[in-house]
Amino acid sequence: MASAVLLRYLVVLLLVVGCLGRPVPPSPAPNMVDGITAIYNFGDSISDTGNFIREGAVGLMEHTGKLPYGSAIGGATGRCSDGYLMIDFLAQDLGLPLLSPYLDRGADFTHGVNFAVTGATALDTADLARIGLHMTHTNSSLSVQLQRFKDFMASTTKTPSEMRDKLASSLVLVGEIGGNDYNYAFAMNSPQPNGGLYNIGHMITGAVESLVLVPQVVKSITAAAKELLDMGATRMVIPGNFPLGCVPSYLEAVNETDPAAYDGNGCLMGLNLFTQMHNVLLLQGIRELRKIYPSATIAYADYFSAYVQMLRGASKMGFDAAAATKACCGVGGGAYNFDMDRICGAPGTAVCARPEEYLSWDGVHLTQHAYKVMSELLYRRGLASPAPVNFPRV
C-alpha cells in the first residue's frame, strides 16, 4: 500500500509554458560588480527570457504569449511569470542589462546571452525517444544550447585565447535543467480513468523510468559544465531542482488525502525525496568538477532550500502564508487553484488580487516577488555556495 502511494507521487506533469515579447528593463546599477562583464545562461522555463516563443509556441502554450503573463512589467515578455525572473534580478544586481534570448537576432549580446528554452531537457530528444519518451515541447536540449554557445563564441572571438579572456570575466549558469526529463517520463505513464491494473503497471513504469533517468540527467549537466570550464569559464553556478512536492501542479495532480503523506510545510514527502536524490547526485558531480578545476569557482545553487525557506518564512517575506501552495493565476479554487486542462490565461482562469503575496504564479512557475526573494537568498544570503559573486556590503 505504501509503495503504491509513493508511486502516485511520481505520476504528474510539470507544465512547461512560454510567453511573448520584450520587457522594458529596469535601470541597471551604475557599475558592474566583482569584475563580471557578462552572463551566459543555460536552462529551461525557470530562466527563459524569450527563446521558446521565438521557436513558435503552440497548443497548451498559446495562452502564455499574452497577458496576464508579464502583467507586473507591462506585458508578456517571454518570461514564465507575472514579471521578472531570478536571472533578471541577478543581472540587475551585477549592474548588467537584462539578458536577451539567443534567438532574438536583433539583440545586443555585449554583456551576455540567454540560451535557456522553456521545456528544454538535459538529455537530447533522441536519447529520450530511445526509451519511449516523445513528449518534448522543444528540441533545444542542453547540448543544443551548448552548441549555440560555441557558435556564438566562434562568431564573436578570433582565437581560443580571446575566448578564454572573455569567459574569465563572465558568470556562467548551467541550469536549472533536468526537471522536464523526469516530467516527460511521469506524464507518459500517467493513469487513465478506470485503468485498474493497467494503471498500476503504468505507474510502476513511470517511476522506474524516472529513477533510471537521474544519473543520466546529472551526467549530462556535469558534462556540459566540464566543456564550459575547459573553454575557459572561471565562475559557474549549477542549480539543483525545486522541491517538486511543494509545487501546486503536483499537489493538485496527486490529490493525496492521507495527512501522513505531507511534511510540515504541506509538501509531498515522496516527491521531495525524489528531487533530493537528483540534487545529491548533482552535488557529487559538482565536487568532482571542483577537484578537476581547483582554480574555478563552481557554486551549487540550492533551489530546494530557498523554496522551503520561503514556505517556512512566508509571512516575514511578504507572502500570504495561507496561499503558500496555491497558484495566483488559475482556476478551480480549492487548496491549489490549479487545473491541468486550463492553465493561466485560458478561458475561465483568473488572476489573484495580490500576486506579490503568492509564491506560485501559474501553479508551476513562481511570481516575480518569489523569484526576487529566491535571488536574494541564493546570491546574497549564502544558498549559492561557494559565493560566485562578492557583492559589496551595504
Catalytic positions, please? 45, 362, 365
CB atoms within 10 A of CB 227: 15
Coil vs helix vs strand at 300: strand
Q: What is the dihedral of CA 183, 186, 189, 193, to 10 degrees?
A: -100
d(CA 295, CA 303) in angstroms, rounded, equals 25
DSSP 77-133: -S-SSSS--HHHHHHHHTT-PPPPBTT-TTS--TTEEE---TT--SS-HHHHHHTT-
d(CA 337, CA 148) in angstroms, rounded, equals 38
- C-alpha distances in angstroms, 143 versus 51, 160, 212? 15, 20, 20
d(CA 242, CA 278) in angstroms, rounded, equals 10
**Joined grid coordinates for residue 115:** 540560451
d(CA 292, CA 389) in angstroms, rounded, equals 21
| Closest C-alpha to 379, from 254, 237, 199 | 237
